[in-house]
Amino acid sequence: MKPYELTISEACAQMEVGNLTATALTQSCLSRIDEIEKDMHAFITVDRDGAIQQAEEADRNRKKGAAGRLCGIPLSIKDLLATKGIRTTCGSKILENYVPPYDATVVSMVKNEGAVILGKATMDEFAMGSTSETCAFGVPRNPWKKGYVAGGSSGGSAVSVASQECFASLGSDTGGSIRQPASLCGIVGMKPTYGRVSRYGLTAFASSLDQVGPLCRNVTDCALMMSIISGFDPKDSTSVKQPVPDYSSFLVDGLAGLKIGVPREYFTEGIDVEVENIVKNSIAVLKERGADIVEVTLPHTEYCVAVYYLIAPSEASSNLARYDGVHYGYRDLGADTLLEMYKRTRSKGFGSEVKRRILIGTYALSSGYYDAYYKKASQVRTLIVGDFKKAFQSCDVIVSPVTPTPAWRIGENNDDPLSVYLSDILTLSANLAGVPGMSVPGGVTNIGLPVGIQLQGPHFHEGDLLRVGYNLERGLKLGSRALDI
């Protein structure tokens, strides 16, 4: 087995006994990148020299007995999390040459545990998309089948993990942007409870929805990453002072005493037959492992897409107003007046999807329309939160598909943005309600496309999701499969 094929726990064990060094592990991942990156497009920036320096430092720290929990483990970072000295583009030309002078809190946390940062992962521009096709610097490819999307907006993060270019990645989830690409690429991804993980240093898309989380090869690695990046951060005004458990302690065999809720609204017209069958098989596995299966209802699910695509663009139009060509980022130098410079800078710097959402959000917030659109959407959002609270009175974890279909071909829906928006219908509600969500591999379709199982739980119950995911992993015993690289 090559070093890059190991999991985090396996690699740490090998380094602990001296069978492997952080430098060798990092070089193995860099060689893997050299071998396949031209086909994968998982990275916007690879910091080769910086990664080797960090790996060498990790080896020195291990010799001194000062090894952290991620000492020498190569990671990728979604390109909207600030990384000191490494450019952070958000997948946009408007920030093509922006190099932050500081690290995001979550980046500092993994660095403090000895992680090696390989580079910045490809993403939809400003995280606006479900396929990573809106990135200004290339489109990541699904490693399971050539010509298919990897999902988004954390598509590059998912590809870098699934194609074994790194061991885990930090992504962000505003409406499913961790869970959906994790599902389409056959890996594990978690969106924590809103406020559980610091957003300081995360470039804002929709501030009331954005959440940072890990993408990993298995549930055990996900539990470790969650233990490291969770916790209160005074630099983030939305961070919650809540004790952080050892998430690895939830990885126990068996689900006796746990109630699994199956929402009737998530199994309706539009769900692919193979997806539905894989999810139902996974539910049967959870029952075999001791869980009680109950039906629950989330009656306002049908409004989630409409609510999300009013709230998220509204917040985006406010957050992205800062990119005006004055403070930082791209500036059009051909304008004669300040107003013309604003117009030309934003017209040339932003891609079509970002401009579409800015226009939608500006309209929804405009005088005379605020009450009819943004305010009403916020009121329905409260009803969606109430749906989850009521459902969790009768179950501990909700199980469903992540997406209605497996991955589709690159370019297939470029002229139909509404179809792409509707693909998020099963993931948006967790962001609107602020509850934790997780995707765990559930199986593969007849043509070799992965299908993920979505787990959702009450606020700050990430441990229950990890427990269910761990048992699903053990029950399904999918094992490794050849990737189409």
- pLDDT tier for residue 420 given thresholds of 50, 70 and 90: confident
For the four alpha carbons of 408, 414, 418 and 421, in that order, the dihedral sign comes to: positive
Question: Looking at per-residue confidence, does 485 or 295 come out higher?
Answer: 295
Tokens representing residue 58 in the block: 């990790």
The verdict on residue 133 lying in a domain is yes
Q: What angle do CA 193, 361, 136 make, to 5 degrees?
A: 80
Which H/E stretch holds residue 265? none
Are 96 and 116 in contact by the 8 Å Cβ rule? The answer is no
Are 163 and 485 in contact by the 8 Å Cβ rule? The answer is yes
In the chain, the number of structural domains is 1
Catalytic residue among 108, 130, 132, 153: 153
Instruction: Check if 78 is active-site.
Output: yes
Instruction: Please give the average per-residue pLDDT across 20-32, as a whole number.
Output: 98
- pLDDT tier for residue 422 given thresholds of 50, 70 and 90: confident
Instruction: Check if 282 is active-site.
Output: no
Output the domain CATH number for residue 156. Answer: 3.90.1300.10
Instruction: Check if 376 is active-site.
Output: no
pLDDT at 35: 97
Polymer length of the chain: 485
Domain region containing 31: 3-256
> Phi, psi at residue 439, to the nearest 5°?
-115, 130
pLDDT at residue 195 tops 70: yes
Instruction: Please give the average per-residue pLDDT across 58-82, as a whole number.
Output: 97
- Portion of the chain with pLDDT greater than 90, in percent: 93
Q: In sequence order, what are the residues at sequence separation of 6 or more whose Cβ sits closer than 8 angstroms to the Cβ of residue 367?
A: none
pLDDT at residue 482 tops 70: no
The verdict on residue 347 lying in a domain is no
pLDDT at residue 179 tops 80: yes
Instruction: Please give the average per-residue pLDDT across 224-232, as a whole number.
Output: 98
Are 108 and 81 in contact by the 8 Å Cβ rule? The answer is no
- pLDDT tier for residue 332 given thresholds of 50, 70 and 90: very high
pLDDT for 337-350, tens place per residue? 999 999 999 999 99
The verdict on residue 94 lying in a domain is yes
First to last CA, the chain: 18
pLDDT at residue 398 tops 80: yes
pLDDT at 39: 96
pLDDT at residue 419 tops 80: no
Tokens representing residue 225 in the block: 């990453």
Q: What angle do CA 252, 256, 260 make, to 5 degrees?
A: 100
Residue 395: which of 268, 301, 276, 297 has the closest Cα? 297
Are 446 and 274 in contact by the 8 Å Cβ rule? The answer is yes
Residue 450: which of 71, 63, 181, 242 has the closest Cα? 181
pLDDT at 464: 98
Instruction: Please give the average per-residue pLDDT across 40-67, as a whole number.
Output: 97
pLDDT at 208: 97
pLDDT at 421: 78
Are 75 and 168 in contact by the 8 Å Cβ rule? The answer is yes
The verdict on residue 157 lying in a domain is yes
pLDDT at 416: 76
pLDDT at residue 380 tops 70: yes
pLDDT at residue 485 tops 70: no
| Strand partners of residue 450 | 444
Catalytic residue among 28, 76, 78, 154: 78
Distance (Å, rounded) from C-alpha 403 to C-alpha 385?
Answer: 20
Distance (Å, rounded) from C-alpha 263 to C-alpha 271?
Answer: 13
| Strand partners of residue 170 | 77, 214
pLDDT at 51: 98
DSSP string computed for 406-460 = ---BTTTTTT-HHHHHHTTTTTHHHHHHT--EEEEEEEE-TTS-EEEEEEE-STT
Distance (Å, rounded) from C-alpha 98 to C-alpha 241?
Answer: 32
- pLDDT tier for residue 480 given thresholds of 50, 70 and 90: low
Catalytic residue among 92, 177, 183, 227: 177
64 by Cβ neighbours in 10 Å (0-12 / 13-18 / 19+) ranks as exposed
pLDDT at 270: 84
Question: Looking at per-residue confidence, does 479 or 175 come out higher?
Answer: 175
pLDDT at 418: 73
Mean pLDDT of the chain: 96
pLDDT at 481: 65
